[in-house]
Chains A and B, each alone.
Chain A
Amino acid sequence: MTALGKLFGATAFRLALAILLLSAIGAGVVLTVIAWQVVSVVDREIARTIDAEAKGLIYAFDTAGIRRLDAIIEARKREPGASLYLLTNPIGEPLAGNVEQIPAEVLLHPGFLPIIYRGSGAGGREREALVGVYILPGGFRLLIGHDLGDRARIEAVMVHALAISLVFFAALGAAGALFVARRVLKRIDDMNTSAQGIMAGDLTRRLPVSGSGDELDRLAEGLNEMLGRIAVLMEGLREVSDNIAHDLRTPLTRLRNHAEAALAFGGDAAAYRQALEKTIEESDGLIRIFNALLLIARAEAGGDLGPPQPVDVGEAARSVAELYEPTAEQEGLALTVHAEDGLKVRGNRELIGQAIANLVDNALKYGAPNKGAGAWPKPDVVIAAKRVGGSIILTVADRGPGIAAADRARVLDRFVRLEGSRSRPGSGLGLSLAAAVARMHGGIVELEDNRPGLRVRLTLPAAPDEPAEAPAPAELVLNDRNAG
């Protein structure tokens, strides 16, 4: 598109043109009303003047008779800028005056009316005048008229003014439209340029915001927020790949070393077998880490949960507790659940179960009290779930050494394993996976002091109360999508 075409095509330009047209029409109406008003004022003024003159002449007729009036009219019509006069006898024959051709019926009725007349003298042009007709005693008729040239001049002035203002409006409107359109276009072009830059890979770039707070600014701010979110996600992904690079390298190296050592040092079948078993064990660990990382990354990207379903958190807690109860017993810990009924959230049962399992797993791993601690409370791991307002809160509390306040936020990060826990099995992903699952469901994981011990609090938004469970249409829609 050419620059001009782009300009004319711009919404702002068309909008400006429409406004211009409307204001021109408005100006025309205003000027017309004013002209009409002025004209009627002028007409009234003329009529008053005519009336006043007529009164004088009628007085002269009353006191001095028709000859006197005749004389006065003859005198007056010679004055410069004289009015129009016509005095006729009762049968309409002119006695005096300066009007020649006049429609006969004009003189029949007294009153004011506009007429077209032809002035005396050769070549008199047709002119417009307002005339007053008076019937004198004895049937004589007196006509006094005023030329309406003034009124025509006023009208001309008005038309002229209208024309000038229209031109002015047109110029102003066109300039305004051009200015607005170019300004808006320029900003959109700027945005486009920035967008191109971002697409080209400069993710730190943002759309320009003029600071005026107008719609374009709001749009730019919205898009910038979106870009910010994207940048965070990208950063998250980058972090994941960094972590993968860093933390998968160690087990990968180990894996390779085992295989290499087995090849290099040979040995009997049993030794090979052991090396291979070790290799598989290592790769299983790698797969586990990999899966957890993917899940976390996906959760942070606001990933796909699948169709959300009602999940009873209390039920999930009980089933996880039931799953871990023998393990707890083996560790010498008592695992108890206090969960209210009907703690429904909407989400993925699998993930919520896994999150709770991870928390319980952690509590069992690290929840045993330090040896030598004297009056330590009974080493229970307690799972509690209740509803608080619009949230379902599940806590997993242990009586272990706990986590220092300074470290609490950090352990939710990927791969963070505190000193003293490195010797234990685990990838360091359990808590961060639970936190990621919480985020996926619009919830949060927080760590608290259980005095003594650690209490992990998982908060999830409660499902809105529904009379019936899982309506069928959602299922159908999903089937459609799968089929496509």
Chain B
Amino acid sequence: MSDMRILIIEDDRDAAQYLAKAFREAGHVVDQANDGVTGYDLALEGGYDVAVVDRMLPKMDGLTLVGALRKQMNETPVLILSALGQVDDRVKGLRAGGDDYLSKPYAFSELLARVEALARRGPKGAPEETVLRVADLTLDRLSHKVTRRSEEIVLQPREFRLLEYLMQNAGKVVTRTMLLEHVWDYHFDPQTNVIDVHVSRLRAKIDRDFDAPLLNTVRGAGYMIRDGAR
């Protein structure tokens, strides 16, 4: 995905510069604010696909900013960045109105994947599609049926959710921690390659018997499901 308008609200100018450069490199349009009030004003003007908000900001802290935006019925997706590491910081951030939460330090690939996933989600309350399709792979959320080239593929419940999440984000990078969060609802960093093993099992089921692999590994970032032909 490219051409997203991203607002970065971060008081550390170095970090903000780096983020802006990296997001532009990835093809996005970036605006920056170095304090909470400026950021709030910019965000209110609207038009941003995602706002990346540091938690500790001069003039108005990140959580207050998000809460104020939500009070103004501004639904810009917000990812909160935090150097705090308290166990319930994440919960607080989400409760304040944030849509995702990432603690510093983070890998940019992780941030990028999450920001793109947020923007893609689109306006809240939009009806979710009941049938997801990527190339010849189809996932029916109602009947829990997965077929590829009209052949039914039998998946375990967790594999189904894994595939569902990947397909919801088709064409986008999904990181291991994103998978752990959305499929298992855990937010810790798995020390071993548990997720990789799950993904390769899934891959074996959906890709092994077909010549065009759909589930790809993105080096240093995560996974992506996409139509290789396009």
Binding partners A and B: yes
Which residue from B188, B193, B197, B198 sits with its C-beta under 8 Å from A354?
B188
Which residue from A291, A361, A478 sits with its C-beta under 8 Å from B192?
A361
Cα distance, A425 to B192, chains bound together (Å): 9
Q: Is the CB of B87 within 8 A of A291?
A: no
Cα distance, A425 to B105, chains bound together (Å): 21
Instruction: Report B12-27 CB contacts with A as 1/0, cut-off 8 Å.
Output: 0000000000000000
Q: Is the CB of B88 within 8 A of A357?
A: no
Q: Is the CB of B190 within 8 A of A305?
A: no
Report if A361-B191 is in contact (Cβ < 8 Å); known contacts: A284-B107, A304-B88, A326-B198. Answer: yes
> A283 — which chain B residues lie within 8 A by C-beta?
105
Q: Is the CB of A327 within 8 A of B87?
A: no
CB nearest neighbor in B for A348: B87
Which residue from A277, A350, A425 sits with its C-beta under 8 Å from B87?
A350
Instruction: Report B104-128 CB contacts with A as 1/0, cut-off 8 Å.
Output: 0101000000000000000000000
Q: Is the CB of A330 within 8 A of B87?
A: no
The reply to whether the CB of A272 lies closer than 8 angstroms to some CB of chain B is: no
The reply to whether the CB of B194 lies closer than 8 angstroms to some CB of chain A is: yes
> B87 — which chain A residues lie within 8 A by C-beta?
295, 298, 303-306, 348, 350-351
Q: Is the CB of A322 within 8 A of B190?
A: no
CB nearest neighbor in B for A353: B186
The reply to whether the CB of B63 lies closer than 8 angstroms to some CB of chain A is: yes
Q: Is the CB of A287 within 8 A of B105?
A: yes
Q: Is the CB of B88 within 8 A of A305?
A: yes
> B86 — which chain A residues lie within 8 A by C-beta?
298, 303-304, 306
> A358 — which chain B residues lie within 8 A by C-beta?
191
The reply to whether the CB of B145 lies closer than 8 angstroms to some CB of chain A is: no
Q: What's the least CB distance linking B122 to chain A, in Å?
A: 27
> B105 — which chain A residues lie within 8 A by C-beta?
283, 287
The reply to whether the CB of B210 lies closer than 8 angstroms to some CB of chain A is: no
Cα distance, A233 to B48, chains bound together (Å): 46
The reply to whether the CB of A323 lies closer than 8 angstroms to some CB of chain B is: yes
> B67 — which chain A residues lie within 8 A by C-beta?
483
The reply to whether the CB of A314 lies closer than 8 angstroms to some CB of chain B is: no
Instruction: Report A280-320 CB contacts with B as 1/0, cut-off 8 Å.
Output: 10011001100100110010000111110000000000010
Cα distance, A277 to B107, chains bound together (Å): 12
Instruction: Report B169-212 CB contacts with A as 1/0, cut-off 8 Å.
Output: 00000000000100010111111111001100100000000000
Tally of A interface residues using CB under 8 Å? 40
Q: Is the CB of A326 within 8 A of B186?
A: no
> A361 — which chain B residues lie within 8 A by C-beta?
191-192
CB nearest neighbor in B for A291: B85
Taking CB atoms and an 8 Å cut-off, the chain B residues in 135-151 that contact chain A are: none
Q: What's the least CB distance linking A307 to chain B, in Å?
A: 7
Q: Is the CB of A306 within 8 A of B91?
A: yes
CB nearest neighbor in A for B103: A291
Main secondary structure of the interface of A (DSSP, over half): helix
Tally of B interface residues using CB under 8 Å? 28
Which residue from B107, B197, B198 sits with its C-beta under 8 Å from A280?
B107
Instruction: Report A414-426 CB contacts with B as 1/0, cut-off 8 Å.
Output: 0000000000011
Which has the most chain A C-beta neighbours within 10 Å: B87, B92, B107, B186? B87
Instruction: Report B32-67 CB contacts with A as 1/0, cut-off 8 Å.
Output: 000000000000000000000000000000010001
> A291 — which chain B residues lie within 8 A by C-beta?
85, 189
> A427 — which chain B residues lie within 8 A by C-beta?
191
The reply to whether the CB of A482 lies closer than 8 angstroms to some CB of chain B is: yes
Q: Is the CB of A326 within 8 A of B92?
A: no
Which residue from A307, A323, A348, A478 sits with its C-beta under 8 Å from B184?
A323
> A322 — which chain B residues lie within 8 A by C-beta?
158, 184
Which residue from B63, B85, B194 sits with its C-beta under 8 Å from A324?
B194
Q: Is the CB of A354 within 8 A of B186?
A: yes
Q: Is the CB of A306 within 8 A of B191?
A: no
Report if A326-B191 is in contact (Cβ < 8 Å); known contacts: A291-B85, A306-B87. Answer: no
Cα distance, A482 to B97, chains bound together (Å): 12
Q: What's the least CB distance linking A357 to chain B, in Å?
A: 7
> B193 — which chain A residues lie within 8 A by C-beta?
327
Q: What's the least CB distance linking B219 to chain A, in Å?
A: 9
Taking CB atoms and an 8 Å cut-off, the chain A residues in 262-292 that contact chain B are: 277, 280, 283-284, 287-288, 291
CB nearest neighbor in B for A365: B192
The reply to whether the CB of A63 lies closer than 8 angstroms to some CB of chain B is: no
> A482 — which chain B residues lie within 8 A by C-beta?
63, 92, 95-96
Q: Is the CB of B88 within 8 A of A327?
A: no
Q: Is the CB of A479 within 8 A of B91?
A: no
Cα distance, A354 to B184, chains bound together (Å): 12
CB nearest neighbor in A for B106: A287
Q: Which 9 residue pairs are nearest across A and B when measured between Cβ atoms?
A: A306-B88, A326-B197, A354-B188, A327-B197, A327-B194, A306-B87, A353-B186, A326-B201, A294-B85
Given contacts A307-B88, A323-B184, A326-B197, list 19 more A-B pairs with CB under 8 A: A277-B220, A295-B87, A303-B86, A304-B86, A304-B88, A306-B88, A319-B184, A327-B192, A330-B197, A350-B87, A350-B186, A351-B87, A354-B186, A354-B188, A357-B190, A358-B191, A361-B192, A425-B192, A427-B191
Seen from chain A, the residues whose Cβ lies within 8 Å of a Cβ on chain B are 277, 280, 283-284, 287-288, 291, 294-295, 298, 303-307, 319, 322-324, 326-327, 330, 348, 350-351, 353-354, 357-358, 361, 364-365, 425-427, 430, 478-479, 482-483
Seen from chain B, the residues whose Cβ lies within 8 Å of a Cβ on chain A are 63, 67, 85-88, 91-92, 95-96, 105, 107, 158, 180, 184, 186-194, 197-198, 201, 220
Residue contacts A-B, CB under 8 angstroms, 13 given? A280-B107, A287-B105, A294-B85, A303-B86, A304-B88, A319-B184, A322-B184, A323-B180, A323-B184, A330-B197, A357-B188, A357-B190, A361-B191
